[in-house]
Amino acid sequence: MKTERTERTEKGEARPADPPARRAPRRKEVLIRGIAVSPGIANGEVFDTTEPPAEAPRRQIEAEAVDAEKHRLAAAVATSRKQVGKLKTRLSVLPEEAQEELEPLLDAYALMLGDSRLIRGARKRIEHELLAAETAVADEAEAIAEVILAARDDDKAGLKRRAGEVREIARRLTRNLTQNPFRSFKDVPEGAILVAEELTPADAALLDPSRIAGVATEEGGADGHTAIMLRALGIPAVLGAPGLTEAARRGDQAVLDGAAGTIALHPTAATVAHAKEQLAAYARERQRLGKLRRLPAVTTDGELVELQANLEIPAELPLIAQAGAQGIGLLRSEFLFMNREDLPDEDDQFAAYAPIVAAMNGDPITIRVLDWGGEKDMQALAAGIESQHAGPNPALGLRGIRMLLKRPELLEEQFAAILRVAAQAPEGAVRVMLPMVTVPEEVKAAREIYERVAKRVRRRGEKLPEKLPELGAMIETPGAALAADAIALEADFFAIGTNDLAMYTLAVDRGEADVAHLYDPLHPAVLRLMQFATEAALRLRMPVSVCGEMAGNPRLVPLLLGLGIRCLSMNASAIPRVKQAVRALDIGDCARFARRVMEQSDPARIRELVDGFATGVTERG
């Protein structure tokens, strides 16, 4: 029998009750995958932030308007410089790591807003092509970016980062020319997950890590300045997530996993519960890895392993300190030569190296001299070696030490600067590394120049170390690996660059989509070349390290130690987990494992063995 629900009024009278409210249908969980950039879990509401586009319609001008457009450009440059200056004042409220990350970048922005190629090129386009200032800036910036991105360079991430810097300054100039407003983060609620199409490093500087739970963007990658900033700020982040801004709406509940690179929109109760568990587990993991910072990287049977960091730009120094690196195993000096039309002289280079050496406070630093092969954005060098710059295959041409020996004045300037800065560090802390060595004669010729420069610098009264810094060789081609026993007689140490070694051995460019799947550092040919070079060094009791991506992979550490490597240099962020792996290993087990791997001829079987050994170590740990 159907009964009618009733309720009483304040006067006690009965009246029909309101029907029960219908629940809104629950939206289905949507999982979006992107690039894992900054580890951590965020559970909160989406706050979407958009920025008015910085583009402006293409515009031609009349000849009589040229001076007016140049004045507009000058005014926009002046305004942009003031804005960059204000951003620098903002640094004081950021964590120390973020301050040290952003300051060099803002300095680079300020330089680009000076008498740079971008500004000079824009002026020329206004004069000769009769373009409006914003059109001239956009065209010149894109021309520079295309030159950078078209380069044949194994360091694709570095190329993208440099192109992004140029485009970012162009966008800032365009906003100021067109008076388009910049993005504001004042209204972001506490605990929100910030969602945007893209974030610039300057945007990241405005974020308050105590208020924002996480960041997700549709554009961006793991190696850009924005990613480095977010890691320095400690904000969980996922970048490069296609379809994100279309799917996410302000107020949507979301769970972001910065380690897995995922964003779950409208998460289920199970997803939220799992996120809360992960938050607690992640806090414990960070605490455990943080404790490793001051502990030695020593195996269970007492073998000490040196864990060092690779440094591409000075902005990465805070990450190196934070990770607990035992020095810099590879300081790439190319940053000194990028985005400029003149060459840095000895004093310029000394001024760049000195703060890095000072920051490392006596820890070892290995500086690789200029590694250029016509493919990087170095106009002043390209002008001097025009035939190589236009060559069809720079990777097989006049690059690395070959180019430096052809233009010894470049090597002399760099040697002199490094020798001077080495005097400011404890003896032996600074070492010099030669790139792309293939024959012993290259090391011998470089050493003759090295010793000649040292005598000249001493004669002019400069203080130099009593014992010259060691001079080592990069082993990054099959020829160098197979000639390692002869090269070892001329060099003081080896560094095996596994990225290039695998590329040259397998004839695979990882940047080429059609063949990238063939790139495999666990290919037996690559491993045998590494073994040959390592054994050549160990026979002479000469230091040997690995400084490619293999060094930063915890699952490959047992194999590298088993081959006899005791020094690994990697991206700073990889050091804590590699140290954790080292501290769970026994050298005897690693040696037996490496012998078993080196008996194999099938890459798939090698991967199977590597995965099995790593899993066993994890379970025992």
pLDDT at 6: 43
Three-state DSSP at 552 gives helix
Residues with Cβ within 8 Å of residue 609, at least 6 apart in sequence: 593, 596, 597, 600
pLDDT at 211: 85
| Six token digits for residue 279 | 């938050």
pLDDT at 203: 83
Asked whether the predicted pLDDT for residue 99 surpasses 70, the reply is no
pLDDT in tens, 565-598: 999 998 887 899 899 999 999 999 999 999 999 9
Asked whether the predicted pLDDT for residue 94 surpasses 80, the reply is no
Catalytic (active site) residue 590: no
Q: Which residue has the higher pLDDT, 385 or 219?
A: 219
Number of helices followed by number of strands (H, E) in the chain: 24, 18
Q: Which residue has the higher pLDDT, 347 or 150?
A: 347
pLDDT in tens, 195-233: 998 888 778 878 887 789 999 999 887 767 788 778 867
pLDDT at 3: 38
Q: Which of 389, 547, 567, 590 is catalytic?
A: 547
- As its CATH architecture, domain 30-51+184-283 has 3-Layer(bba) Sandwich (3.50)
Rounded CA-CA distance 240/216 in Å is 8
For tokens 């204000």, name the residue: 86
If residue 262 lies in a helix (H) or strand (E), which one and from where to where? strand 262-265
Cα distances from 532 to residues 38, 480, 529, 535, 542, in angstroms, run 37, 10, 5, 5, 14
Rounded CA-CA distance 578/310 in Å is 14
Asked whether the predicted pLDDT for residue 25 surpasses 60, the reply is no
Residue 101 pLDDT class (50, 70, 90 cuts):
low
Three-state DSSP at 368 gives strand
Rounded CA-CA distance 594/613 in Å is 10
Annotated binding site: 332, 368, 476, 499-500, 510
Residue 535 pLDDT class (50, 70, 90 cuts):
very high
Q: Euclidean distance between the first and final Cα of the chain, in Å? A: 66
The ranges assigned to domains in the chain are 30-51+184-283, 63-178, 295-379+393-497+543-619
**∠ CA 383-389-393, rounded to 5°:** 170
Work out the average pLDDT over 376-398: 56
Percent above pLDDT 70 for the chain = 85
H-state helical runs in 512-574:
524-539, 557-562
Report whether 63 contacts 130 (CB < 8 A): yes
User: What does the mean pLDDT of the chain come to?
Assistant: 85
Name the pTM for this structure: 0.64
Annotated binding site for phosphoenolpyruvate: 332, 368, 499-500, 510
Residue 436 pLDDT class (50, 70, 90 cuts):
very high
Residue 134 pLDDT class (50, 70, 90 cuts):
very high
Asked whether the predicted pLDDT for residue 475 surpasses 60, the reply is yes
Residue 148 pLDDT class (50, 70, 90 cuts):
confident
Asked whether the predicted pLDDT for residue 481 surpasses 60, the reply is yes
Q: Which CATH number is 295-379+393-497+543-619's, of 3.90.480.20, 3.20.20.60, 3.20.20.70, 3.40.190.10?
A: 3.20.20.60
3-class SS string, 470-487: CEEEEECCHHHHHCHHHH
Report whether 304 contacts 566 (CB < 8 A): yes
Asked whether the predicted pLDDT for residue 452 surpasses 70, the reply is yes
Rounded CA-CA distance 394/104 in Å is 30
Q: Do domains 30-51+184-283 and 63-178 have the same CATH topology?
A: no
Asked whether the predicted pLDDT for residue 126 surpasses 90, the reply is yes
**∠ CA 551-552-558, rounded to 5°:** 60
Residue 285 pLDDT class (50, 70, 90 cuts):
confident
Q: Which residue has the higher pLDDT, 399 or 474?
A: 474
Q: Which residue has the higher pLDDT, 74 or 617?
A: 74
Of the candidates 362, 470, 448, the one whose C-alpha atom is nearest the C-alpha of residue 404 is: 448
Exposed/middle/buried for residue 182 (C-beta within 10 Å: 0-12, 13-18, 19+): middle
Catalytic (active site) residue 389: no
Annotated binding site for Mg(2+): 476, 500
Q: Which of 225, 389, 523, 567 is catalytic?
A: 225
Asked whether the predicted pLDDT for residue 298 surpasses 80, the reply is yes
Asked whether the predicted pLDDT for residue 184 surpasses 90, the reply is no
pLDDT in tens, 70-89: 999 999 999 999 888 877 77
pLDDT in tens, 388-432: 444 556 677 778 899 999 999 999 999 999 999 999 999 999 999
Residue type at position 257: D
What is 63-178's CATH topology? Enzyme I; Chain A, domain 2 (1.10.274)
| Six token digits for residue 23 | 């629940």
Count of other CB atoms within 10 angstroms of residue 164: 22
Asked whether the predicted pLDDT for residue 510 surpasses 70, the reply is no
Rounded CA-CA distance 261/492 in Å is 42
Residue 380 pLDDT class (50, 70, 90 cuts):
low
Residues with Cβ within 8 Å of residue 417, at least 6 apart in sequence: 346, 347, 349, 350, 353
pLDDT in tens, 255-278: 999 989 999 999 999 999 999 988
Work out the average pLDDT over 95-119: 76
